[in-house]
Structure 1
Amino acid sequence: MPAKTPPTGDPTWLEDVLRPALGDRLKTLPGWKDAGVGGTMGRIWGVIWHHTGNARESAQSIRNGRPDLAGPLAQLHIAPDGTVTIVAVGPCNHAGRGSWTGLPTDNANGLTIGIECAWPSDASLTEATQTRERWPDAQIVAMRDTGAAISAYLGVDASHNISHEEWAKFGPAGFRQGKWDPGNLDMDWFRGEITKAMNGEFNTTPTTPEEPMPTLDDLTPAEQHELLDGVRWIKQQLGPNIWGPASSMGKNDSGQELTVRDGLAAHLRKAGA
C-alpha cells in the first residue's frame, strides 16, 4: 500500500514494507534503525541497484565499509540465496558521482535507497567477461520482490529503479564514473519484472520453511529410550521377535494368539468373502 504522503526522511518503514513481500527472507542487522553516514534522508525518489563484486560479501561488510570508503555502503544487502538484510536507514555511501532525471547531479545518497546484491561468485569477472555468470534465481526473485514493494510504497513505477551504471554513465550529465553494476543484469528486463510483481502477476506470498525432521541426536536419552520402547511394541504387534512372543490381539477360531498383522489379514479375508 502506498504511503499516505510521499516518504521523506530515514526509511524506518523498510521492515514493515518488506516483511509482507519477503516473509522469512527478510533479516535485519542490529542497530539498523540508527545506521547511516550522517544526516537524514530527504524525499526518497527510488532505488539504485548495485553488485558487490564478490558473492561472499556479507551484510556486515556493507555496514562496515571499506578502507577507502566509510560504511554503510547501502541500506539493503541481498545474498545469493535470496536473503534480504536491512543494514541501515540513514544516507549511505553508495551512489557517488552521476546524474538521472529527477535527481540532483552527484547527489543521490540522501534521496535513493541503495541495494547491494552479493554477486558474482567469480570475483575475477570484469565488465568484459561478466556474461559468463548467471544470477541465482532466488536472488533475482528477492530483488524483484524488494523493488516492487519499495516502489509500491513510494507510489512510483518501476522506472524509479535504476542501476549504478545508469546513474554513473547515462544520465543527463553524461559519463561521471566508470561503474558497471549490477553486472550483466538487463535493467529494462528487470524493471519489467518489477512491474509484473507490482501488478500481482507473481505469487509472492512467503512460505514458511518446513521444520527439519529431528534425528536421534536431537532427542534426550529418555526420549530415545521411549522411542525404542515404542519400536519394540510395534515389532511385537507385527509378529514374534527376539524380545519375546507376540503380543495378543485376541485369538482365532483355533485359540491361537493374533498379532496386528494376523488381525488385518483376517479382516481382509472377511471383507473379500
Structure 2
Amino acid sequence: MASPLSADRMVAALSLEGVHVAEHAGWRTHNRNSKGAWGPVNGILIHHTAGSNSLGIVWSGRSDLPGPLAHTHLAKNGTATMVGNGRANHAGPAAVNAFTAVLNESETHPRPSNASGTVDGNARLYGIEIENLGNGRDPYPAVQYQAAVRWAAAICRAHGWSANSVVGHKETSVEGKVDPSFLMDTFRADVAERLRHSAAWSPGAGTGGGTTTPNPPKKEKDMQLTDQVAVGDWQPRRWPDDKGLKDKRISVETALGSAYGHSRVAHEGVDALRKEVAEVKVQLAEVLAVLKQGRA
C-alpha cells in the first residue's frame, strides 16, 4: 500500500527506466477524482486497446465511460503518452481474491471470482493501455513490448514492489475482460528481470528483437532419431512429386517420411492381399470338391 506517485515523480521514474515519455496537454489535472478515491495504490494493471489509433479515446473516453481510460497510452512505436494523473476509468470492479494476490505480491494469481466480492480497482491500480487489436494476431513490436515492461518496472521500482504487483485486466475482472492478449506470466518474468538490474539497464544484443506475438509458441528441440511420433505424421498420401526438380533431389525429411510411410502402406497392402488369396484358395477348394462329387 502506497501513496500515488505525483506527476513529476511518475515522469522521472519512467524516464530513468528508459521509457520514451510524451505528455498530452492537460494530463496532470485530467482524472476522475471527483467521482471517487485515488489511492492508496497497490499494483499495476495491463490492458490492450482492442483498436488502432486509440490515443484519442483513451484520453476522452466513450459516451458511456468518460476518460481518462488509463494513466498511459502506449503506441506501437514505444511512445508512452501520459493521459491521466489520478483516478482513471480503466480497472472497474476487481475481484477480491485477485486483488488480494496483488496486495500480497503472490507468485500465483487465481482466476477472478465474483463470489469473493469486489474492490474499486480504479482507486487502487495504475493502468496502461497498449495499442493492439487484441485479436490474437496483431503483434506487439519489440520496441512497444519492451516499453511496456520498462513502464511497469519503473512504477514497481519507485514503490519498492515486485513484479507480482503487475496483473492483466483478465486476471482481475469480474466482467469477463480478456486483455492483454499476451501471457502475463511471461510479462511478469520480464519485469522481474528488469528489476534485478538498475533502471538504466538495457538487455544485451539479441534480446528484445523482432516482434512479440500475443501467445508465442514454445521453441521445440531438434528432432532426434529416438523420438516417438505418430505413424500418421510419417505417412504421406502420395509419393513426393519431383516434377520440376532439375537435380531430382528431395529433402531428407521427405525421403524418410515417404520411405517409412509407403513401406508401411505396402506392407499392410501385402498383408491384406495375402488374406484375400487365402480366402480365394478356400473357396476354390470348395468348388473343386463339389466338382469331384459331381463326377463320381
Range class of TM-score, shorter chain: 0.5 to 0.7
Q: Using the TM superposition, give the Cα deviation of residue 55 of structure 1 relative to its aligned residue in structure 2, in angstroms.
A: 2.9
Which ranges of structure 1 fall in alignment gaps of 5 or more residues?
1-5, 169-175, 206-273
Of residues 20, 37, 55, the one that matches 2:52 is 55
Q: Does 1:80 align with 2:85?
A: no
Superposition misfits of 4+ residues, deviation over 4 angstroms: none
CA distance in 2, matches of 1:61, 1:42: 24
1:141 aligns with 2:141: no
Q: Deviations over 1:153-174 (max 9, x none)?
A: 1111001100000001xxxxxx
Q: How does 1:195-210 map to 2 (within 5 A)?
A: 195-200=192-197, 203-204=201-202
Contact 1:55 1:79 survives alignment (8 Å):
no
Cα gap change, 1:47 to 1:11, in 2 (>3 Å): farther
Task: Tell me the residue number matched to 2:16.
Answer: 20
Correspondence 1:94 to 2:99: no
| RMSD between aligned residues | 2.1
Measured in 1, the distance between the counterparts of 2:16 and 2:160 equals: 17
Structure 1 counterpart of 2:142, which letter? D
The answer (yes or no) to whether the contact 2:132–2:138 under 8 Å persists in 1 is: no
1:17-61 Cα shifts (integer Å, max 9, x gaps): 1111125x1111111111101245211111100011013211x32
Which of residues 128, 145, 148 is equivalent to 1:115?
Answer: 128
The 2-side partners of 1:48 and 1:65 are apart by 18
3-state SS in 2 of match to 1:109 = helix
Aligned to 1:224: none
Question: What is the CA distance between 1:10 and its match in structure 2?
Answer: 5.8
- Residue 9 of structure 1 deviates from its aligned partner by 4.1
Residue type of the alignment partner of 1:156: W
Question: What letter is aligned with 2:178?
Answer: W
Q: Is the contact between residue 145 and residue 204 of structure 1 (CA under 8 Å) also seen in structure 2? A: no
- Supply the distance in 1 between the matched residues of 2:51 and 2:187 (Cα, whole angstroms): 21
Change in 2 beyond 3 A, CA 1:11/1:182:
farther
Higher Cα Rg, which structure: 2
Gaps of 5+ in 2: 104-116, 204-296
* Rounded Cα–Cα distance in structure 1 between residues aligned with 2:24 and 2:139: 28
Partner of 1:150: 155
Pair 1:37–1:98, CA change in 2 (3 A): same
The amino acid across from 2:186 in the alignment is W
- Asked if the contact 2:99–2:172 (Cα under 8 Å) also holds between the matched residues in 1, the reply is no
Give, in angstroms, the shift of residue 83 of structure 1: 0.4
Give 1:7 shift: 3.6
Identity of aligned residues (%): 29
> Partner letter of residue 124 of structure 2?
L
Amino acid of the structure 2 residue aligned with 1:20: L
Q: 2:32 aligns with which of 29, 33, 37?
A: 37
